[in-house]
Amino acid sequence: MTCDNEVPVPAAQVPVRRRRFLTFLVAAPVLTVAVPGTAEAVIPTLPQPAEILDLGDVLILAGAPTAGALAVLSVGEDGVVTLDLPRAEVGQGITTASAMLVAEELDLPLGQVRVTLADARPELLMNQLTGGSNTMRSVYGPVRQAAAAARARLLAAAAEQHGVEVSRLSTRDGAVILPDGRPVLYGLLTSAAAQLTGAFAAQPKPEGEHRLVGTPQSRIDARAMVTGQFRYTLDHDMPGAMPTVVRRPPTINGSVKSVDSAAARAMPGVLAIGVVPTGVAVVAETFGQAMAARDALKVTWNPGTIDSLSDKEIRAKLQAAALPFVVPPLLTQHLDLEFDFAFVSHAPMETNSAIADVRDDRAEIWAGLKSPIVARQTIAAAVGLPESAVTVHVVQGGGSFGRRLFFDAAIEAAQISKALKRPVKLMWSRTDDMRHGRARAASHHKLRATFALGNVLTFEHRVASVETDFRHGLGEILTATAAKLPVGGNLSFAQTVFLTTCKVPYNFGVVTSLLNEVPLRMHTGSWRSVYSANTRGAEEILVDQLAKKMGKDPVAFRREFLKTARQRAVLNKVVEEGQWGKAMPKGFAQGIGFHDEYKSCTACLVEIDARDPKNPRVVRATIAVDVGRPINPRGLEAQMLGGLTDAISTTLRAGLHIDKGLPLEGSYSQFHYARQKDAPLDVKIHVMPATGEPGGAGELGVPAAVGAIANAYARATGVVPRSFPIIFPVDFEPFPR
Amino acid sequence: MPTYTFVVNGKPVTVDAPADLALLWVLRDKLGVRGPKFGCGIGVCRACTSHLNGAEVQPCVTPVSECAGQEVTTIEGLASGEDLHPVQEAWLEQDVAQCGYCQPGQIMAAAALLRTKQEISDEDIDRIANVCRCGTYFRIRQAIKSAAAKMS
């Protein structure tokens, strides 16, 4: 077991910096937290924690002290304005939406705005985490303020240059317009503006004057993507960084006992082999050669941490862990239901990957990272360097769905680079990504509702989940360390996330939702909508069954018990547009679901073809969404479409089977995420008009659609699904371990 | 190590490579052609989908030895200079891409389909098995129909 170090490390190239003159840091926005009202003749439910303070609010509050430093804008002499965004774009469209905010405030064509992803900026403390559907909520104020300040400074420069009052100037199409109508391009004012002294705070435009924000815009990076020019982590060339893969253990968290690398070393293209904490790393001239050598290694392994566990044992643990109900089902009518949800891989198309260059005195990392500050802090500790010597670059990612909150590949690449004394370009195989990567935790749900005289009196939900790992904290080391505390650390985080995200949107009398987690030493992580997909999905199924038991139509029932007019408007929109109640052929059915989170709400109406109950397909979907203030409706629709596809996948066919310490699924031929043949032939998404501040959008689409699909399946087949995914056989020969 | 000569995006290339090395790694790691993406390595996610003599191929399961003397086209070679292929145009029109990682393969699969067939049905589109983990399928469907209409 030796580590190679025979290859000299080439000197790093010093990048040529483009000239930039004008950068601003502006003041923090004012934070407001709204509490929605409740009403109606139904038995009102007291506001749940998530209605008073949701996870997004928590993240905004945590980021408040540094919000003024969040948006860094530069105005180039070429007239291009660049926003260095301290968030991770992974497909959710935040760079386009942020560019729209900048273009709006500066009266600039959208094409003249660039958005780069900021390196880890530890001074931002808890304000560089991309999660909780929080990006547009948290940057909406600061980015507009920074752009408004930039505009003010450009106006002042023009006023000075041309000897006119600022009040006589306006801005249009990337230029300051002089009183006589002549335009002065921003690029010509950059140098003068940068030399001005004084404060240039300015109020952003009133929202009523928005001309770009709120209109549908295409992605700013779309052309690069469709022409193959877009660069993901592994598409970048860093000097000396060669293709690297890792041979991993046969069970989760196993470790290397012994290695015979003689055969692998003799294979063509192999450059270095070494043992690291997670397995055996192989560096070669191409990934194909690295993988061939990886397969030729003879490795014996120490056991992992869940070797004795399979689905059956895990499910039994979860069922035992669900906390008891409070209300006995004695004097009133009641309905009890239980549900199970399997583990689900995040399975982003781009597997875990990172480039790392660790030297004796410094380190540089490139990866798709949603919490880069804690990544930098953790990597510094792992490779024994002061934090200030570690640079972490955030690269746009090929999907995440929560996966890139963790930085497993980045830390592993750093460890390999240090061990082998060479820069590395690390890629996980798909099989490793599914088996040794992270997953949505499996969960068990017990629900009970009691009712009498047409009213719901109590509603109880007991969630028992395998521990969801929140040890990334709020994106920096203090809260990450708190989450790592042995007693209650992660559980405190889990409870906070559960309570600040999951809320029952109905007036169901006394509502209690309780989470209990079973800690297992395996790799989990937040998966788009975290607890809500399963928790709210299960509740929406119960709502349909409750309506049935109380003799009411599912839509009429929801309309009666939803808490607000805004929620009912969204429900009514899909009912109307999706033609709720229309005649359907035998084996087909409609289903409806509703969800409210992060100041946004949505309803989903699907039509399912379940003529063959073992081969169902959602054939049509109608979605209505109210996010308070849509910034880019086209991007919002994309997020809702993605949430729908996630729900189709995880409700019907996509999950992981755990067998003796390892998921059986190892690729998309086995983990059945939806393909085109599983996707609806018609999808209509209705974006409700702006009424307030932006709410969350990235995760919103999943839970309502889970409920709608399960309810449609139940109505089409007469069987209420209790275990998800519904169609879940081991219909493949698992890859060798 | 054997040498193979073939054409990539209109340009002849010669590479030294083991016969069984997958075309994907020759393209990406030896030639710096990074449009085709790795997603599975076994031809099931189809993120690497490109064209071999105009027909759909998955470079992750195509040995380089099978490409000798052939014409390989990747996403980078689909457009004619600045003039995008109608499928690429349709992708922009429908704003299909989210993370974008699978889209080179999706576009190449659609372009290969439209090369052989002008009348496109929903069943034809259903047969495209490329995974899009962002779930953009409906926009892909609309884009293919739009491209088909433009090309007919």
The answer to whether the CB atoms of B130 and A676 lie below 8 A apart is: yes
What does the pLDDT look like over B113-122, one tens digit per residue? 999 998 999 9
Q: How many degrees, rounded to 5, is the angle at CA A160 between CA A158 and CA A163?
A: 100
Is the ipTM beyond the 0.90 threshold?
A: yes
Please give the model's pTM, rounded to 2 decimal places: 0.95
Closest CA to A148 of A205, A85, A220: A205
- Residues in chain A with CB shorter than 8 Å from the CB of B134 are 91, 349, 399, 638, 642, 645
Burial A650-682 (b: 16+ CB within 10 A, else e): bbbbbbbbbbebbbbbbbbbbbbbbbbebbbbe
The answer to whether the CB atoms of B99 and A668 lie below 8 A apart is: no
> What is the C-alpha separation between A317 and A313, in angstroms, rounded?
6
The answer to whether the CB atoms of B129 and A676 lie below 8 A apart is: yes
- Burial (CB < 10 A; 0-12, 13-18, 19+), residue A322, is buried
- Residues in chain A with CB shorter than 8 Å from the CB of B84 are 226-227
Q: Which of residues 639-668 of A touch B (CB under 8 A)?
A: 641-646, 648-649, 667-668
- Residues in chain B with CB shorter than 8 Å from the CB of A268 are 1, 18
The answer to whether the CB atoms of B38 and A285 lie below 8 A apart is: no
DSSP state of A53: S
Over 60: is that where the pLDDT of B61 sits? yes
Chain centre distance of CA A447: 27
- Residue A219 CA: distances (Å) to CA of A102, A480, A632, B91, B94: 15, 33, 10, 11, 10
The answer to whether A501 contacts chain B (CB < 8 Å) is: no
> What is the C-alpha separation between A89 and A135, in angstroms, rounded?
10
The answer to whether the CB atoms of A679 and B25 lie below 8 A apart is: no
DSSP state of A562: B
The answer to whether the CB atoms of A398 and B100 lie below 8 A apart is: yes
Residue in B16, B88, B99 to test binding to A, most A beta-carbons within 10 Å? B99
Give residue A468's identity as a one-letter amino acid code. T
Query: Could you tell me which chain A residue has the CA closest to the CA of B88?
Result: A226
> What is the C-alpha separation between A137 and B137, in angstroms, rounded?
27
- Residues in chain A with CB shorter than 8 Å from the CB of B132 are 349, 645
Query: Could you tell me which chain A residue has the CA closest to the CA of B2?
Result: A268
Residue among A219, A243, A401 minimizing CB distance to B29: A243
Chain centre distance of CA A260: 40
**Residue A169's pLDDT is what?**
97
How is residue A5 written in tokens?
């170090």
Q: Which of residues 97-136 of B touch A (CB under 8 A)?
A: 97-104, 107, 122, 125-136
The 8 Å CB, 24+ separation contacts for B77-85 are B77/B8, B77/B9, B77/B10, B78/A227, B78/A228, B78/B107, B78/B108, B78/B111, B79/A227, B84/A226, B84/A227, B85/B111
Instruction: Give A671 to chain B, closest Cα distance, Å.
Output: 11
- Residue A263 CA: distances (Å) to CA of A126, A160, A282, A428: 48, 74, 13, 22
Instruction: Give B102 to chain A, closest Cα distance, Å.
Output: 7
The answer to whether A357 contacts chain B (CB < 8 Å) is: no
Q: Tokens 């996330």 label which residue?
A: A497
Identify the band that residue B35 occupies on the pLDDT scale cut at 50, 70 and 90: very high
Chain centre distance of CA B11: 17
Residue A239 · residue A423 · CB < 8 Å: yes
The answer to whether the CB atoms of B74 and A285 lie below 8 A apart is: no
Query: Could you tell me which chain B residue has the CA closest to the CA of A92?
Result: B98
Q: Which of residues 40-99 of B touch A (CB under 8 A)?
A: 40-42, 44-45, 47, 74-76, 78-79, 84, 88, 91-92, 95-99
**Residue A24's pLDDT is what?**
56
Q: Which of residues 259-278 of A touch B (CB under 8 A)?
A: 268-269
Query: Could you tell me which chain B residue has the CA closest to the CA of A244?
Result: B29
- Residues in chain B with CB shorter than 8 Å from the CB of A294 are none
Residue among B34, B45, B134 minimizing CB distance to A91: B134
Residue B131 · residue B46 · CB < 8 Å: yes
The answer to whether the CB atoms of A288 and B22 lie below 8 A apart is: yes
**Residue A34's pLDDT is what?**
29
- Residues in chain B with CB shorter than 8 Å from the CB of A286 are 17, 21, 25-26, 28-30
Q: What is the 3-state secondary structure (H, E, C) of chain B?
A: CCEEEEEECCEEEEEECCCCCEHHHHHHHHCCCCCCCCCCCCCCCCCCCEEECCEEECHHHCEHHHHCCCEEECHHHCCECCECCHHHHHHHHCCCCCCCCCHHHHHHHHHHHHHHCCCCCHHHHHCCCCCCCCCCHHHHHHHHHHHHHHHC
pLDDT along chain A (737 residues), means of 10: 38 42 46 33 83 86 84 90 96 98 98 96 91 95 92 94 96 97 95 83 91 98 98 98 98 98 97 97 98 98 97 97 86 92 98 98 98 96 97 98 97 98 98 98 97 93 96 86 82 88 94 94 96 98 98 98 98 98 97 97 98 98 98 98 98 98 98 98 98 96 98 98 98 97
- Return the number of CB contacts < 8 Å for A and B: 193
Residue among A91, A401, A430 minimizing CB distance to B40: A430
Helix (H, G, I), strand (E, B) or coil at A424: strand
- Residues in chain A with CB shorter than 8 Å from the CB of B129 are 675-677
> What is the C-alpha separation between A570 and A642, in angstroms, rounded?
19
**Residue A23's pLDDT is what?**
62
Residue A687 · residue A630 · CB < 8 Å: yes
> What is the C-alpha separation between A192 and A161, in angstroms, rounded?
8
Q: Tokens 């300040």 label which residue?
A: A149
The answer to whether A243 contacts chain B (CB < 8 Å) is: yes
> How many other C-beta atoms can be found within 10 angstroms of the C-beta atom of residue A349?
29
